Amino acid sequence: MTRQAQKTNVCEVNFDGLVGPTHNYSGLAAGNVASKRHAGLVSNPREAALQGLEKMHALSRAGYAQGVLPPQQRPDLETLRTLGFSGSAGDMLAQAASQSPAILRAVCSASSMWTANAATVTPGADAPDDRVHFTPANLQSGLHRCLEPATTGRILQAIFSDPRYFAHHAPLPATPAFSDEGAANHTRLCAGYAEPGVHLFVYGREAFGNAPAPRRFTARQTREASEAIARQHGLTDAQTVFARQHPDAIDAGVFHNDVIAVGNGPVLLYHEMAFADEQGTLAELREKMPEPLIPIRVPLEAVSLEDAVATYLFNSQLLSNPDGSMTLVVPGECEHNEPVWRTLQDLVLAGHNPIGEIIVKDVKQSMQNGGGPACLRLRVALSEAERAALAGRVLMTDTLYHELTGWVKRHYRERLAPEDLADPLLVEESLAALDELTGILQLGAVYPFQRET
Ligand code: SUG
């Protein structure tokens, strides 16, 4: 089969992370203002999971291809054992709670819900071997998130299992020089999903170079990590642009590029403070893109960095419609901020860009940990043949939605306070939930350990 014949009917599938049963507010995330602000609050895991599912369902009903990725097993008993705790699950939780509450909080995080950080993905249209390439992010910048990549790799390999279509790479070495947070710092710009694209990799610091780094917060993505991923995926200089994030934006709480910019097709919606060298970045994109770039710049005078971070206006999903228009899916917080809401209305009314519709989604439980609509999804552009090759039952349908909401309602708590993290019943409940979920999603053994009896 020729390459052209293979790549028919390409569309973007958004794989959202299903929120896990231990969703809680532990203030774990460096440089993430919302996570720090809501530390210690009582969470509602059931509401969090239902909000995520409602977003997935609404978008699939509106005609957008939608997938789902399962949560990881938490509390992470394997890590507790590795860190020297011993005995039963209950013993280890009790030891961790008394000896190191910070470890307990980390092993209980449901952070795998933010699948924009799960991996970087290169579609088959851009890879030299025509396959879709995946690299799980090492997420080495925080203890709670560096526990994710091994299971993420297993989940991605279970779903994208057919080696004729999919290629999987190892996460980069988990060390500060190769700090990688996945697709949250990667945007593919193209004319259409089947057309060749240009990959915009945004980094916050250089490990081996001298670019000015932010002062208040540590940048989570290095240039060296982005370059290594481009090499793994076989991307050439002509296909890549490496742009430095503005250090002042990182210091204002923009810990990933997807908190300050979003791209889709030829459109790049970005804040004036997104890039250290705005004009240079746009010029390089224009030079390398076969299609004219459609930049949409939001100036500082329209939206302050503080408002951008508080509302996650840029952490929106920009989705393509069959008529060529685009729909922007924004978090509910945008509606309640006057300058942001006005900016969004102006975007739609402007008429000189493809954005024709704004959809508002309530993902407040996730937002309070710094994760908006775009954080919750991993974009994978797939041809018809690649979609047909997916394993498991991971594409959203009405039936799957109803099964998953029923599953959440059976297994999830409505209230999780910081002290509940040491409750051994939470381990049992989470394991029982995930046991059943692997059956629903038909993914096989993706989790590292079994249920204790
Ligand atoms: O890594 N929050 C996540 C949010 C990730 C958002 N993702 C994107 N922007 N793509 C993070 O900062 C908070 C967990 C806690 O505090 O309990 C957390 O990990």
- Dist CA 18 CA 444 (whole Å): 17
> For ligand 1, is residue 369 a contact (CB within 6 Å)?
yes
Helix or strand (DSSP H, E) at 252: none
> What are the respective helix, strand and coil percentages of the chain, to the nearest 5?
40, 20, 40
- Dist CA 203 CA 196 (whole Å): 23
Helix or strand (DSSP H, E) at 361: strand 355-361
Q: What is the pLDDT of residue 129?
A: 97
Q: 73 and 80 in contact (C-beta within 8 Å)?
A: no
Which residue's CA is minimally distant from atom 9 of ligand 1?
Answer: 375
- Dist CA 187 CA 82 (whole Å): 36
For residue 428, indicate whether it is catalytic. Answer: no
CA of 30 relative to ligand 1 center, distance in Å: 9
- Dist CA 171 CA 136 (whole Å): 5
Which is catalytic among the residues 181, 224, 272, 386? 181
- Dist CA 349 CA 358 (whole Å): 11
CA of 389 relative to ligand 1 center, distance in Å: 31
What is the widest separation between alpha-carbon atoms in the chain? 64
Site to probe by mutation for ligand 1, drawn from 375, 377, 420 as the one with most ligand atoms within 8 Å of Cβ, is 375
Which residue's CA is minimally distant from atom 14 of ligand 1?
Answer: 28
- Dist CA 64 CA 414 (whole Å): 30
Q: 146 and 203 in contact (C-beta within 8 Å)?
A: no
> For ligand 1, is residue 17 a contact (CB within 6 Å)?
no
Which residue's CA is minimally distant from atom 19 of ligand 1?
Answer: 29
CA-based nearest residue to 317, from 265, 381, 263: 263
Helix axes 89-99, 101-108, angle to 10 degrees: 130
CA of 48 relative to ligand 1 center, distance in Å: 14
Q: 313 and 335 in contact (C-beta within 8 Å)?
A: no
Question: Coil, strand or helix: which one is 195?
Answer: coil
| pLDDT, tens digit (0-9, with 9 covering 90-100), for 404-423 | 999 999 999 999 999 999 99
For residue 181, indicate whether it is catalytic. Answer: yes
Q: Half-sphere exposure (CA, 13 Å, Cβ side) for 364?
A: 9
Q: What is the pLDDT of residue 449?
A: 58
In 13-87, alpha helices (H): 33-37, 45-61, 77-82
Question: Coil, strand or helix: which one is 264?
Answer: strand
Whole-angstrom CA distances from 215 to 259, 271, 278 are 18, 20, 20
Q: Which amino acid is located at 110 in the chain?
A: A
Q: What is the pLDDT of residue 445?
A: 85
Find tokens 């709480």 and name the residue.
253
- Dist CA 339 CA 341 (whole Å): 6
Helix or strand (DSSP H, E) at 285: helix 278-288
Of ligand 1's atoms, which has the minimum distance to the CA of residue 374?
10
Cβ count near 245 (within 10 Å)? 27
Which is catalytic among the residues 108, 375, 386, 411? 375
Which residue's CA is minimally distant from atom 10 of ligand 1?
Answer: 375
- Dist CA 144 CA 141 (whole Å): 9
| pLDDT, tens digit (0-9, with 9 covering 90-100), for 342-393 | 999 999 998 889 999 999 999 999 999 999 999 999 999 999 999 999 999 9
For residue 375, indicate whether it is catalytic. Answer: yes
Of ligand 1's atoms, which has the minimum distance to the CA of residue 184?
10
Helix or strand (DSSP H, E) at 453: none
Q: What is the pLDDT of residue 2?
A: 44
- What pTM was estimated for this model as a whole? 0.97
Ranges of residues in the chain whose predicted pLDDT is under 70: 1-6, 449-453
